[in-house]
Structure 1
Amino acid sequence: MSELIEAVIGSEEKGDLREFASFLRQQEKRYLLRNDILTAFSEYATNRQKPENFYKSSNLEKLIYYTQEIIREDSNLYLIIRPKIASQEVYRLTEDLAVDRITVQELLDLRDRFVNHFHPHEGDLLELDFGPFYDYSPTIRDPKNIGNGVQLLNRYLSSKLLQEPGQWQEALFNFLRVHTYNGVQLLIDERIRSQQQLSDRVKKALTFLNDLPNHQSYEEFRFELQTMGFAPGWGNTAGRVRETLEMLDESIDSSDRQTLEAFLSRIPMVFKIVLVSPHGWFGQEGVLGRPDTGGQVVYVLDQAKGLEKQLQEDITLAGLDVLNIHPKVIILTRLIPNSDGTRCNQRLEKVYGTENAWILRVPFREFNPNMTNNWISRFEIWPYLETYAIDAEKELLAEFHGRPDLIVGNYSDGNLVAFLLARRLKVTQCNIAHALEKSKYLFSNLYWQESEEAYHFSLHFTADLLAMNAANFIMTSTYQEIVGTPDSVGQYESYKCFTMPDLYHVVNGIELFSPKFNVVAPGVNENVYFPYTRHEDRIESDRDRLEQMLFEREDPTQIFGKLEDPRKHPLFSMARLDRIKNLTGLAECFGKSQELQAHSNLILIAGKLRVEETTDREERAEIEKLYRIIDEYNLHGKIRWLGVRLPKSDSGEIYRIIADRQGIFVQPALFEAFGLTILESMISGLPTFATQFGGPLEIIQDKVNGFYINPTHLDETAERILEFISKCDRDPHYWHEISQRAIDRVYSTYTWKIHTTRLLSLARIYGFWNFTSQENREDLLRYIESLFYLLFKPRAQRLLEQHMQR
């Protein structure tokens, strides 16, 4: 029995548990989530006139705090308890307080009965269990180390080198000699024929290098090293080559985690990278603000630039300039023939500011040109991805003149394509989810059948399961993206155990303690987004033009609202107009607070102004809702709504203009996986108020360099903003203090240099792990392939048949 339940039943609070259970049985709701449970407990304590210490420190309060869900069936209550992060226990509580622990399978049956109101026949639903396939790999023990998987992997690999030296030294030797670039051998050539010979030659080379000055160029002694069997790739100077060979020597003789990680991170094995992002409008101009296009485009473009730059630096440090090696990064996305004035109909487009980074657009096959010639929502994209991967493979092989070295998927569809490509090309696969839709839509798996026509969650969640388990490593922006917080379930954690009634049960969807998870936060483009105080880097004509647009210009095609007093401090937000981004919630918060309106104007840059201009159902609904709120609260004269698509350079200057006027940035999303706009506003020097649900909890340190808000509590949000404004009125320096701390926070933690260095280090380490564990992974990949063809593909085919009729 759970210690939490036992502490209640074994104490004087047993009667309170009985009363509270009776109180719950009288409630209309039969399925209570955590907030419902806490609210019900508060009502119970108030109704029974319980003392304050009962509500705050009783054993029953502790049990309630850790209970994530309560399901009522007949007279029984089922408690889903999360006593610690990444751990779940389920108990049935009867009317006479008998407690039985129930299995995962019984819980999933219970949830099915809750939806379908009947008892499912035993054994007639597919169970998905990925657990056994993780038996071959090491496992993290302490939840606080989740998301730092590479450290565990390095400890495991170095211990194997010590415990089974012959086998693992042979694996390391074989790994080093497979590396080539366009047919040119790197690292070690045929002169070194065994692991023992490698060890001997390393010592010989170190003796030779000890007589050379550290700064001596590799070109001056490369041929002496080659006679010993060492091909290019060890370093660009005598000092660098000596350091690298010393790491190898130590790894062979007495490996430790840090040395092995440092050595593997230097191996020149990544030169050609694919970043996969199929859905949405992907381009460098005229795409921001369109459906399915936002932080995704900014992130991937900046990542491509950072990776190319870091790859070139690594190539130079490895001494490979002598071979005239140049890295190449390709962003693989979708070609959209009807491109609506964008460049999304161009097959190949060079990424600005790079030497060899490109956007490669591959079209969907024309099953029905009425569909495939146009933008397709991310919820409808699934039928085209298998053939897209097949076509993309041919295009990539032609562009790279061979295979890429690393494939990085972005979002659910990109990750599925990354799996299909990596499987065919036999290269390392990295996944970046950014946001998993399952966490964003309440009960989306339980009631998937009701929303299938609009969202096709059966395909979406199946694709997530396949891709996340297939990936060699997964990068997340935050720790809580994986396993949440002590009082909230993480995005990946939500895939651990769930049901899709009448389709399948997931009894173990992902191993959260696997070393494949690594937290690697994105950066921010410092050429575009920089502090408002750097006046020398700002362009006066841009500032004047954008100030006019933000506060004064009249253009009914793009701008709604004329400000009565443009001098008020602006409250500013910029996002897509969809339900999750919740800009309508911010407008309502502003509308309900006369005091906020007295101090500030609300400036929104969001989507379109008219419903007839969009085909996205959520955007249409939010446009209508925003107009209703403006009229209901009579915000005319106090709000500016700009339906414009901005180039990145303009968006950077807009943050700075808002900062010039000592404004505030508000990010009111109902859930935000990370929040690039938060980084952009903070580095610009804007005090930032951001949702407490998701990634902002790890970006912002509350009341130090920004502020948390609960966007579902409108009055409380207004009070927090007003508290800041009042403090600034009392102390004019306070705005500047928060501004500077926000800038410092980004520069210390969130740069693309930090991100790309870490990503490439992970790619090399997991590349070695993939090389040594391929045989053990084959059973998992076969299982995933089977599920793809048995589960995913038939449902995708049915959706394609619907598309053929449009």
Structure 2
Amino acid sequence: MIDLIRNVLDSDEKSELRQFFSQLRTSERKYLLRNDIVSAFSEYCTTHKKPDYFSESSQLGKLVYYTQEIILENEDLYLVIRPKITAQEVFRVLEDLTVEEVAIQELLDLRDRIVNRYHPAEGDVLELDFGPFYDYSPRIRDSKNIGRGVNYLNRFLSSKLFQDPRQWQDSLFNFLSIHQFQGTKLLINERIKSQRRLSDQIKRALDFVSERPTQEPYKEFRFKLQEMGFEAGWGNTASRVRETLEMLDELIDSPDDEVLEKFLSRIPMIFRIALVSIHGWFGQEGVLGRPDTGGQVVYVLDQARSLDKQLQEDIRLAGLEGPEFKPKVIILSRLIPNSDGTRCNERLEKVHGTDNAWILRVPFREFNPKLTDNWISRFEIWPYLETYAIDAEKELRAEFQGVPDFIVGNYSDGNLVAFLLARRLGVTQAIVAHALEKSKYLFSNLYWQDLENQYHFSLQFTADLIAMNAANLVISSTYQEIVGKPDSVGQYESYQNFTMPDLYHVVNGIELFSPKFNVVPPGVNESVYFPYNRTQDRVPADAERLEELLFTLEDSSQVYGTLEDPRKRPLFSMARLDRIKNLTGLAECFGKSKELQERCNLILVAGKLRVEESNDNEEKEEIIKLYRIIDEYNLHGKFRWLGVRLAKGDSGEIYRVIADNQGIFVQPALFEAFGLTILEAMISGLPTFGTKFGGPLEIIQDKVNGFLINPTNHQEMAQKILDFVSRCDQNYHAWEEIANRGMDRVYTTYTWKIHTTRLLSLGRIYGFWNYTSKENREDMMRYIEALFYLIYKPRAQQLLEEHMHR
């Protein structure tokens, strides 16, 4: 990037650079992020009447494109430049346009100075650097392959088998030898005592099964295989046993990464899975729309159902028959004694539509029953997690009659508990962020002290650092969640370096090129969310009831607002009522566009209708704001707000009713980690407009199967919706074409069958990697434990003491 800066300085654009920087120096803002920089440069180009090409094609335009942050200190400008994904360079530009490169440590000090939190006379602040702990592990070279870690890991492992065959074949033999379930030996018995013996016996067994009828059940010839040293687990038929043994034989003789993945994916090593989702109301009815409860609950429940089904299929294909081989999935959540009419006060609840998947609720210890007997915000939950993990371990051991084979954490708190459990139990751990608050709340790390009373980000960001580094694998819904786009930083990437002034500096918070990162997008529950034109599966009475609720029902307890003309095309959105989901922004966009109001109605399904009914501060603020917008833009007669909690079936049917009325779904979030509601709307047959900030970028192909919008630009968003509405009014099939493409997109890419097959494969492969490399992780785990006990735990204890006085 220094070359690009020099190119500007050595060209005719030097004067433009000086003018632009002069403009920035006169502005009140001293810290500009990407959107601020783009707006400032656009203003500069307009003020100085630059031609259209200048903003993108000029050398200065290119420099601005790569600049993520500009910080002004006195007369100096600091440019934080991102020349490519995952890379960052920092430069100081003096008033005379002299340019100096700046180290990360100096950048962190600068950020502290900006908020008056730099105290060199008092000594240095703690520096956290996870970089050295990744030196021993394989590392992806090309940023395009980030998120496909398992592919790289398989190549790495197969190359090890090839380069050092004795050591790795011994590791593979030992790995296969340890497998058992509830005391029943699997795969290899004591007749095979060495890797060399294994290789010889594989060939004998292959000769034997090759002569059997291909579909002959395993139980018909199992005794002969046992005599050779092979127990159950290789397959349910002669042909499947032969295929699995051939893969192992090929691995031993000539290792190959694809063969390794196929072979490990077949090994029966996962029978019991714990999915950890602590905060919020976790249940199957009456919880959606409550604070802290939304897409994550839907995700985990659907994942549990699919895992239950997939585990049964995998175990059957492995040839394991009988009740002793029954898999089990447990969703670990918290028990809330004062459950407000939900089932969150029940210890154990079976997941609907499953054979053996359960919600296990463990209460927080009663440090202060006035708090712990009730729902606790995700921002306040931190003091209770360590003791919760200790109690949960006992409960899990009892329910599983052993330990889980695989633990998957969800969100920051669940990921921390997953780490604590996996550390104590010695099992493979995965994490799913769903959303990292650091990306959602701008400057949240920089101003953490000002926000601490409300959000406690010092605890959350420390928990994130612990969990993402401790995890064996990180499950991401999208590539950009990890490393963003060419012009924006990814959620995980934002943890590479940052400051928590007066607490610590993160010099290297995460290795983005680690093969632990894998993109595994979720699916959508196809029994609940399906196309509106699949009329044979719809219940007419439900459709009629929801039609009335959406458009005409007069019930002040559930609905605010009446529609003067219910026949207008509905613009529809459904989400929690918080700042990030930005439903108030959609309402304001609608209010500013008279043309949209003339042609459409706006219908929102969102949270509570009254401030006094809510316990969540953000929701209260958004309720007040939404009423203000309705009055300010006089949306009466054109706007309808439903403060209802929908049953699962109704949440699917409500999309279809909107589709019956040729409606449009709009998801206006300021940031969306993935976007389950987008999948739900698309599969239902609704043309969908989704935020361009976050996961929807990888779901929606703009103007092909949906539309991407900038929710911060109301005029542009309104115009994009109007353009589509005009097309639909002129051509009846325009609506249908986008609807059909949206449905096709979901069915070909986003199903739970695809998700869970991949997740289980990853669990097995990383389980093997965890087994073979566990001695190399102990140094990092000790570093992580130091961070937990020296930073996290004292701050959690401090918050607990505050809670005790409430």
Q: Identify the range of structure 1 (784-793 vs 68-77) with the bigger mean alpha-carbon deviation.
A: 68-77
Once residues 773 and 394 of structure 1 are traced to their aligned partners in structure 2, the CA distance between those partners, rounded to angstroms, is: 28
Write the deviation string for residues 526-559 of structure 1: whole angstroms up to 9, x where unpaired: 0000000110000111111111111111111111
| Amino acid aligned to 1:3 | D
| Partner in structure 2 of residue 214 of structure 1 | 214
Shift of 1:20: 2.4
Q: Identify the range of structure 1 (117-126 vs 515-524) with the bigger mean alpha-carbon deviation.
A: 117-126
| Partner in structure 2 of residue 645 of structure 1 | 645
Asked if residue 654 in structure 1 is aligned to residue 654 in structure 2, the reply is yes
Write the deviation string for residues 365-402 of structure 1: whole angstroms up to 9, x where unpaired: 00000000000000000000000000000000000000
Asked if residue 537 in structure 1 is aligned to residue 530 in structure 2, the reply is no
CA contact under 8 A between 2:182 and 2:324: conserved in structure 1? no
| Partner in structure 1 of residue 365 of structure 2 | 365
| Amino acid aligned to 1:7 | N
Shift of 1:741: 0.5
CA contact under 8 A between 2:531 and 2:683: conserved in structure 1? yes
Shift of 1:73: 1.1
CA contact under 8 A between 1:273 and 1:406: conserved in structure 2? yes
CA contact under 8 A between 1:219 and 1:322: conserved in structure 2? no
| Amino acid aligned to 1:402 | G
CA contact under 8 A between 2:280 and 2:376: conserved in structure 1? yes
| Partner in structure 1 of residue 22 of structure 2 | 22
Change (3 A) 1:646 1:52: closer
Once residues 52 and 539 of structure 2 are traced to their aligned partners in structure 1, the CA distance between those partners, rounded to angstroms, is: 59
SS of equivalent residue, structure 2 residue 591: helix
| Partner in structure 2 of residue 65 of structure 1 | 65
| Amino acid aligned to 1:484 | G
Change (3 A) 1:364 1:322: closer
Shift of 1:323: 6.6
Q: Identify the range of structure 1 (267-276 vs 22-31) with the bigger mean alpha-carbon deviation.
A: 22-31
Q: Identify the range of structure 1 (520-529 vs 48-57) with the bigger mean alpha-carbon deviation.
A: 48-57
| Amino acid aligned to 1:796 | A
Once residues 49 and 572 of structure 2 are traced to their aligned partners in structure 1, the CA distance between those partners, rounded to angstroms, is: 44
Once residues 97 and 617 of structure 1 are traced to their aligned partners in structure 2, the CA distance between those partners, rounded to angstroms, is: 47
**TM-score (norm: length of structure 2):** 0.99
Once residues 694 and 628 of structure 1 are traced to their aligned partners in structure 2, the CA distance between those partners, rounded to angstroms, is: 28
Write the deviation string for residues 488-508 of structure 1: whole angstroms up to 9, x where unpaired: 110000000000100000000
Write the deviation string for residues 594-625 of structure 1: whole angstroms up to 9, x where unpaired: 11111111111100000000110000000111
Shift of 1:44: 2.4
| Superposed CA RMSD | 1.1
| Partner in structure 1 of residue 2 of structure 2 | 2
| Partner in structure 2 of residue 277 of structure 1 | 277
CA contact under 8 A between 1:109 and 1:120: conserved in structure 2? no
Change (3 A) 1:738 1:564: same
| Partner in structure 1 of residue 82 of structure 2 | 82
Once residues 26 and 650 of structure 2 are traced to their aligned partners in structure 1, the CA distance between those partners, rounded to angstroms, is: 56
1:145-224, aligned counterparts within 5 Å?
145-224=145-224
SS of equivalent residue, structure 2 residue 573: strand
| Partner in structure 2 of residue 518 of structure 1 | 518
Change (3 A) 1:769 1:582: same
Shift of 1:123: 4.6
Shift of 1:12: 3.0
| Partner in structure 1 of residue 334 of structure 2 | 334
SS of equivalent residue, structure 1 residue 739: helix
Once residues 343 and 298 of structure 1 are traced to their aligned partners in structure 2, the CA distance between those partners, rounded to angstroms, is: 16
| Partner in structure 2 of residue 411 of structure 1 | 411
1:489-500, aligned counterparts within 5 Å?
489-500=489-500
Asked if residue 345 in structure 1 is aligned to residue 345 in structure 2, the reply is yes
Write the deviation string for residues 703-747 of structure 1: whole angstroms up to 9, x where unpaired: 010001111111111111110010011110111111110110000
Once residues 117 and 506 of structure 1 are traced to their aligned partners in structure 2, the CA distance between those partners, rounded to angstroms, is: 16
| Partner in structure 2 of residue 728 of structure 1 | 728
How many residues end up aligned between the 2 structures?
Answer: 806
| Partner in structure 1 of residue 35 of structure 2 | 35
**TM-score (norm: length of structure 1):** 0.99
Q: Identify the range of structure 1 (16-25 vs 104-113) with the bigger mean alpha-carbon deviation.
A: 16-25
| Amino acid aligned to 1:81 | I
SS of equivalent residue, structure 2 residue 325: coil
1:297-446, aligned counterparts within 5 Å?
297-322=297-322, 324-446=324-446
Q: Gaps (5+ residues) in structure 1?
A: none
Once residues 305 and 461 of structure 1 are traced to their aligned partners in structure 2, the CA distance between those partners, rounded to angstroms, is: 31
CA contact under 8 A between 2:117 and 2:501: conserved in structure 1? no
Q: Identify the range of structure 1 (735-744 vs 47-56) with the bigger mean alpha-carbon deviation.
A: 47-56
CA contact under 8 A between 1:112 and 1:120: conserved in structure 2? no
Q: Gaps (5+ residues) in structure 2?
A: none
Once residues 623 and 40 of structure 2 are traced to their aligned partners in structure 1, the CA distance between those partners, rounded to angstroms, is: 35
| Amino acid aligned to 2:327 | P
CA contact under 8 A between 2:109 and 2:118: conserved in structure 1? no
Shift of 1:119: 5.2
SS of equivalent residue, structure 1 residue 361: strand
| Partner in structure 2 of residue 765 of structure 1 | 765
| Amino acid aligned to 2:286 | G
| Partner in structure 2 of residue 257 of structure 1 | 257
Once residues 310 and 117 of structure 2 are traced to their aligned partners in structure 1, the CA distance between those partners, rounded to angstroms, is: 57
| Amino acid aligned to 1:647 | A
Write the deviation string for residues 745-785 of structure 1: whole angstroms up to 9, x where unpaired: 00000000000000000000000000001000011111101
Once residues 761 and 322 of structure 2 are traced to their aligned partners in structure 1, the CA distance between those partners, rounded to angstroms, is: 23
| Partner in structure 2 of residue 694 of structure 1 | 694
Once residues 549 and 193 of structure 2 are traced to their aligned partners in structure 1, the CA distance between those partners, rounded to angstroms, is: 69
| Amino acid aligned to 2:179 | H
Write the deviation string for residues 290-336 of structure 1: whole angstroms up to 9, x where unpaired: 00000111100000000010000000000001574111000000000
| Partner in structure 2 of residue 268 of structure 1 | 268
Shift of 1:562: 1.5
| Partner in structure 2 of residue 47 of structure 1 | 47
Once residues 153 and 399 of structure 2 are traced to their aligned partners in structure 1, the CA distance between those partners, rounded to angstroms, is: 33
| Partner in structure 1 of residue 589 of structure 2 | 589
Once residues 344 and 70 of structure 2 are traced to their aligned partners in structure 1, the CA distance between those partners, rounded to angstroms, is: 48
| Amino acid aligned to 1:326 | K
| Amino acid aligned to 1:175 | F
CA contact under 8 A between 1:279 and 1:334: conserved in structure 2? yes
Shift of 1:16: 2.6
CA contact under 8 A between 1:274 and 1:332: conserved in structure 2? yes
Write the deviation string for residues 405-437 of structure 1: whole angstroms up to 9, x where unpaired: 000000000000000000000000000000000
Once residues 321 and 126 of structure 2 are traced to their aligned partners in structure 1, the CA distance between those partners, rounded to angstroms, is: 54
Shift of 1:566: 1.2
Shift of 1:55: 2.4
